[in-house]
A and B are shown apart, each in its own frame.
Chain A
Amino acid sequence: MNTVVNIHGNYAVWLGLLLWYSFVLAAQGQTLTLPRNGTARVDLRAIGYARYQEPEVPSASPIPIVRTQTALELRPDFLVVYPYARLTVKPRFWAARSKAHSPPPGEWESETDLFLNEAVLRLSLRDDLFLIGGRENLQWGPSLLLSPSNPFIAENVREDAFAEMPGIDYVRAVWVASYSVTASLIANIGEGRHDSLMEEDFRRRYAAKLDLTGAGRYAGFIGSLREDALRRPTLGAYAGANAGEAVVLYAEGQCPPELDEFQALAGGSYTFWGGGMLSVEFFHNGPGMRSGNDFIPQAAEEPTMAPDAFQGSFAYPRAFFRKNYLYLQYHDTWRDLTEGTLRFTQGLDDGSHRLTGIVRHALNDYFTAFLTGHIERGSANDEFGRLVRGSVAIGLEAVY
């Protein structure tokens, strides 16, 4: 049996102490009172799961694919609040045993990881002016499939019920100019855990964002520059509106200097009286290919995993290689205890598709059980179904 231990940087001791202290705080109660009108709180979450994946590629393939995995992740969230400052710290400890399908089957392998997923300090300079810095999951926009208006990170790992979005290091200033207008300046100053999500190299970017809110409608406009292409701005935007009390319509997109590479998403959702919500989205991906298989990695050193990667810290494949996609999602709750989500992604160019189901059932106030499954259909040259046929997983989340 092989054992791999990943401890990032020199802060392992501090993270370990934070983890230990989270148990102490959680055991003592909900909220601690700090000097000078401060409070501190910790929410402790632990997730354990077992997953099985049915590969499509032969075991002799150089593409690394895990077949079976069991894992435990500890996710304490610390929150310290003062009248003019707010600190959030989210260290994570992950331990897993995995058995590979390819390259040629190996032994069970153990891996542990201790990392800081988010740590954000928010300073309120005035009631309407905020400075925010640190590692965070910074996302916006109404879309479910992905957020093309976000120049920093468009993916959202929704397909993996157990993964958290990895944090990236940002600084940003937010000015709430009025009830209807908010302006932000944002820069990604460090890679953070970017490498666990993206294959491409980290690039520093600067963005200005303007948010407008109207009665039952909203819009956002984002202008951004990449450090290595400072004179070539990318423009992004999103907008949404309520069409009645049950229908939400929205659109999102970005337009880079190469106009034929624009991305656009249009979607909407309908809420039934029983509470179920049906969402439909269409995504056009300008840089995508209508055919061909250049995106398929040919060498083992390219760490591609199946789209439903087994763990959030695995290298996630760059999503959406084709030009046009249709996305359907249905979400419902039964008896206020059981939640179900069904997601269907259809590649309109190659005809391949992916179906994901997630069921969460609250066992009591503290424990929630999960059952997830996904199947993919497509040929060796298609986006979905080329690496795996499907997967199934069960898990348990505990919150204290």
Chain B
Amino acid sequence: MKHARVLFTGAGPLNGQELDVTVEDSFATTGQLKSKTDGQLINESDVKWLSPIKEPGTIFALGLNYADHARELAFEPPKEPLVFLKGANTLTGHKQNAYRPDNIKFQHYECELVAVIGKEGKNISREDAMDYIAGYTVCNDFAIRDYLENYYRPNLRVKSRDSLLPVGPWIIDKDDVGDISSLKVTTHVNGELTQDGTTADIIFDVPFLVEYLSKIMTLKPGDMIATGTPEGLKDMQPGDKVVCEIEKIGALETYIVSEQEFYGDKY
């Protein structure tokens, strides 16, 4: 099953409410979502998609975790995972805006498979790791390369900015996906294929990461592990539409806007 969260923006009593919905197979043809509360069908045109994780916990992300991407950035593949954390301020949903900061030269998307933790655990073995995964989603872990400095790299200024982690459209149950070791990972910018990889190139896989992280710290439901991105970097400009897609999981669409448009009155 696919689980999503939306803000109802249409007319009527639901206006302004956040709803938990399921996305049925019929969605592709009807554009209707189903409320988990009462089964009511809701038109996609009446909602704003939210990040599908209701109470986000720790957001882990992986750097240089695809063999091809590490080569692209002229790095030796790491011997140990390069893990960094992101703030919940970065989260946004499907079909939402993400901004390009003013006066920068290079901002790129990163299409990533996200494993969502469903059960609390510490010192979880690789063999048991999948028992702790609730499901999967897709994220776009944007980076602004101009802001990289060699301190806690990739630093928060690069990786923890408002709106620069779109997630979604939904969480799909683990068992509906099955094997994740060879899924296509693609990004289209304005319809053009710019990133074309496969999770088969992942260096440290989900079971490894669950074991590795849970040796350090307790993992909890709502924690997310974004597993890194394959090669295929491209600069983004306001007006661009970027779609990050992972086979069997979903296609996440994001619109790039200027800093001024994003922040409006607060700019």
The answer to whether A and B come from one shared complex is no
Residues of A within 8 A of B (CB): none
Residues of B within 8 A of A (CB): none
